Every structure is written in structure tokens, then in C-alpha cells.
Amino acid sequence: MPPASPSTRPRLVGQPLLYAISVFASLGVFLFGYDQGVMSGVITGPYFRKFFNEPTAIEVGTMVAVLEIGAFVTSVAAGRVGDSLGRRGTLFSGAVVFAIGGAIQTFTPGFWTMVVGRIISGLGVGLLSTIVPIYQSEISPPNHRGALACMEFTGNIFGYASSVWIDYFCSFIESDLSWRVPLFIQCVIGAILALGSLAMPESPRWLIDVDRDEEGMRVIADLHGGDPEDLVAKAEFQEIKDRVIYERESGEGRTYAVMWKRYKKRVLLAMSSQAFAQLNGINVISYYAPRVFEEAGWVGRDAILMTGINAIIYILSTLPPWYLVDRWGRRVILLSGGVVMALSLGLTGWWMYIDVPETPRAVVFCVIVFNAAFGYSWGPIPWLYPPEILPLSVRAKGVSLSTATNWLFNFIVGEMTPELQELIEWRLYPMHGFFCVCSVILVYFLYPETKGVPLEEMDAVFGEEELEERLEDEESERASLVSRRSSRSRRSGRLPGAPGAGLVSRLIGRTDGRASYEPIRDGDE
């Protein structure tokens, strides 16, 4: 019997392919989750402190937070990189750079080399943290997009938890290997991701956007079961292609300036989601959990152990959104999580303030509740939301700005936390609780719901005013768009932000906006 041809060899298609891509892409977020957690246990170790001559709070903060400088730089650049190299090529590049940075950290001879290694790892993290959510959103079907993104975030937290427990077990090593081994593991994971990314398919939306239609159709067909004649796959291909052609014919530019002018509201929402993910206080815990527990009365290795227990519960808290995010929607999860986080941080500060014998156990409980609420809400959703709401023409650039915002505020929180822990002590935690309250208010009034909406139809979520703005200088085309808007308004009836509704109604009415969303059909045009 002759050998099977390449086209007939068994290969992953359909849901197995989709989940395989999601699991493997999660290695990218596993990496920066690992990197966020690994330093929390390392910096409290006696051999680490001795090697770096008992570093000051500023030096510790710099070693921890300087990674965000590198991540900020490449997350800004990742928009252009992702559009030129593709999603898969950017993923490969990020993994290679991250592994190089990890090697420099592992074999560092001193403080400044460690700082350089952290910055280089940050360059890789910036690419990965920008491109993985884009890649995930572009291969996911609308009704499972949220769940797959939340699974990806679970990979991030699994990386964080793994680093904490590796720190704990390595703390029993009586040498500098107690901190060099956890840092070296970064290199191994980075190398695995780099090699594996070469076997992953490219994003079909990027392929179609650069006129590699045949390859794009093949990937779409594989995601739908492998049949190139599948009607659903052909319809999806055509919808994406029509959107690409429409954006080109409308003269829609792809620069940051054009994106800011035409999609400012969407970009600001994407950036705010990532800013509050940090201002809400998660990295006070992720980066410095052992120090927080030491403040509360746990000492030495026990503080790392408490951090490990907290990390396990943190992982478990990321599982409910797998089921809930595409049923409840994004808004309900963000609102409920923000309220619980605010209460937990307020109580953490209060227990530290009164400083009674019950304080150590009470602080552990409050921190665990806070971490669980974050893992269920403000952890996964800000990585899901920006790629959803931004159009294909500027998606990579818009997500790069939102991710850069994450790393900017990540750096600010990481750098300032050791100083603030010494300067304002227990007041640090209610301060971040206040930001949680601000985030709840922002989501309630300004964030539209996006569950179940195809990426190519996201304009409808923001109202047809967006379409008018694109062609405001072209009277005839604007009149045509007004006509289309009227037709769609009659069809959907309750579309969020519809013309004629008052400002308050248009803001608050988004709470159940997705219940009235209907996909745009060819016959409706």
C-alpha cells in the first residue's frame, strides 16, 4: 500500500485542533505568569539576599519591576510586529527572547546583570502578552471565545502557582541553586514554546488580511472539521474577506493616529481594563505575597508556604469563568469581582491596623478571597475584552496599547509596593480597594457587553454612530450609512446605544444589551 499523501495523513481538525492550539498558546501566558511569581519567593530567600548583599527595598523593587519596562517597550511595538510577522511569528520571537533573558538571570554575576536579564525577559513577555490574546480571539468561535480566553488565563495563573511551589521546594536547597534553579526553568519553557509555535497554524484572519486567502481558508476549514466545502467555514471566510475589503475600500488607515481618531472610545476602554487590572492590587500580592504574609506575622519559609496555598486557590478561582463568561457575559463578572475585591482589601488593611493575635490567619483568608475574586473576574476579562472590541484593521495595534498599559501600571505597582509597604503600611490595601470601587463604577456605566458577538460585527455593539464618524467628510456615503443604521435599528429594536435613547439609557442599557443583538445577515443589507 503506498504511503498516505500529506493531504490524507491524520491531523487534528475541528474542536481537537482548537483546544490543542488553545492549550499550547497558553504556554505563552504560562511563561509570564511564571515570571511574575518566581521573584516573589526568590527575593525572600537567604542565599539570594546574601548574594546581592542584602538589597534595599528600592533594589528589590527594581529587580522585580524592571521586567515591565521591557514588556512595555515591546508591547507597544507588538502591534507592528504582529501585523508584519504574523501572529505565529511574533509568538516564536517572544519565546526566544524570553528564554535568552531567563538564561542571563540564571547565570547573573551581580545586580546589574540581573536587571539586564529581567529587561530582556520583559521584551519577550511584552510580545507574548500582546499576541497570545489576539491569536486566541482570532481562531475562536464567538460562542466559545470567552471560555477559551479564560482557559488561557488559567494557564497564566498555573504558571504563577508553579513558580511559587518551585520557589518553596527550592528553598530547601542550601546554596545559590535555591534561586538559580527556579530562574533557569524559564529558559526550558521558553524553548518548548518556541519550538512548538512552529507547528501551530497561523491566524486565518491575518492570512486573509494579507491576501493569503487559500491558506486562510484551509485553516478555517480545519477549525470547522477539515472539510474545505463546509458551508459554515465558507461563510466565515466570506464574512472575514468582506470585512477586509470593506475596510480597504473605505480608505481606513492602519496607523496609530488613525486608530486613535476613529476608535478612541474602544481604545480607551481596552486600556482602562488593563490599567485597573493592575490598580486593583493584584501584583501587590503576586509579586510580594511572602512579604505581605511576613507583615501579617508569618515568618520565612512559612510565608512562601502560605503563598503556595493561596496560589492553588487562585488557580481554582479561574475555572468558573470557563462556564460563566459566555453565559453571564463580561460585565456581570467584572462588577461582582470588583465588589468582592474591594471588600477583601479593605478588611486586609483593617486586620493589619488592629494587629491582634488573629491577624495572621485573617490576612491569609482576606488575601485568598481577594485572589479568588480577581482570578474569577479582573484576571481573565481584561485579556479577552480588548481583542474583542477592536476591528481587524487595528486590532494588533490597539491590543498592543492596552497591553502596554498593563505593563506600565504593572511597573508602577511593582516598583512602588516595597516602599509603600514601609511608608504607609496597612493603608496600602484600602488604597487599592478604592481603585476596585472606581473600576466597578467605570464598568457599570461605560463597558458594553460583547458575549456571543462575531468579531466582524462588533460595530453593532457600539452603535452605528461609529460608522458615521468614519465617513463624516463624505456626505453621500454618510447618508447611505444613516439609511443602513435605520434598517438595523428597526430590525434589532433594542440595540444598545441606539439613536433616540437618552444618555443615561444608552449607558445603563448596555447591561442586557446582548440579549437584543442579532448577527448581521446578507439579506438585511
Range of lowest pLDDT (105-109, 125-129, 145-149, 430-434): 145-149
Amino acid at 409: F
Quote the cell numbers at residue 294.
Answer: 511576613
Q: How much is the pLDDT for 105?
A: 93
Q: Give the separation between CA 345 and CA 206, rounded to whole angstroms.
A: 42
Chain-centroid distance of CA 402 in Å reads 9
In a domain, 463, yes or no: no
Please list, in sequence order, all residues whose beta carbon lies within 8 angstroms of the beta carbon of residue 1, skipping any fewer than 6 positions away: none
In a domain, 461, yes or no: no
**Band (40; pLDDT cuts 50, 70, 90):** confident
With a cut of 50, say whether residue 471 has pLDDT above it: no
Contact predicate 93/185, CB 8 Å: no
With a cut of 80, say whether residue 144 has pLDDT above it: no
Contact predicate 406/278, CB 8 Å: yes
Percent of the chain with pLDDT over 90: 26
Contact predicate 518/491, CB 8 Å: yes
Output the CA angle 111-116-121, nearest 5 degrees.
125
Amino acid at 246: Y
In a domain, 510, yes or no: no
In a domain, 475, yes or no: no
Residue of higher predicted confidence among 335 and 66:
335
Q: Give the separation between CA 300 and CA 305, rounded to whole angstroms.
A: 9
Range of lowest pLDDT (187-196, 205-214, 435-444, 473-482): 473-482
The owner of cell 494557564 is: 155
Contact predicate 78/126, CB 8 Å: yes
User: What total of structural domains would you count in the chain?
Assistant: 1
User: What mean pLDDT is predicted for residues 480-486?
Assistant: 45
What sign does the CA torsion over 304, 305, 310, 316 have? positive
- Domain enclosing residue 269, as ranges: 14-247+256-450
With a cut of 60, say whether residue 450 has pLDDT above it: yes
In a domain, 455, yes or no: no
Contact predicate 270/390, CB 8 Å: yes
Q: How much is the pLDDT for 502?
A: 37
Residues 314-342 pLDDT 10s: 899 999 998 899 889 999 999 999 999 99
In terms of pTM, does the model score above 0.85? no
Output the CA angle 238-326-317, nearest 5 degrees.
135
Q: How much is the pLDDT for 286?
A: 64
Q: How much is the pLDDT for 248?
A: 80
Please list, in sequence order, all residues whose beta carbon lies within 8 angstroms of the beta carbon of residue 156, skipping any fewer than 6 positions away: 26, 29, 30, 32, 33, 379
With a cut of 80, say whether residue 488 has pLDDT above it: no
Q: Please, how many CA atoms are within 13 Å of residue 187, restricted to the half-sphere of its CB? A: 14
Residues 204-247 pLDDT 10s: 989 998 889 999 999 988 888 888 888 888 988 998 898 888 87
In a domain, 500, yes or no: no
In a domain, 148, yes or no: yes
The owner of cell 503506498 is: 2
In a domain, 419, yes or no: yes
CATH number at 212 reads 1.20.1250.20
Q: How much is the pLDDT for 518?
A: 46
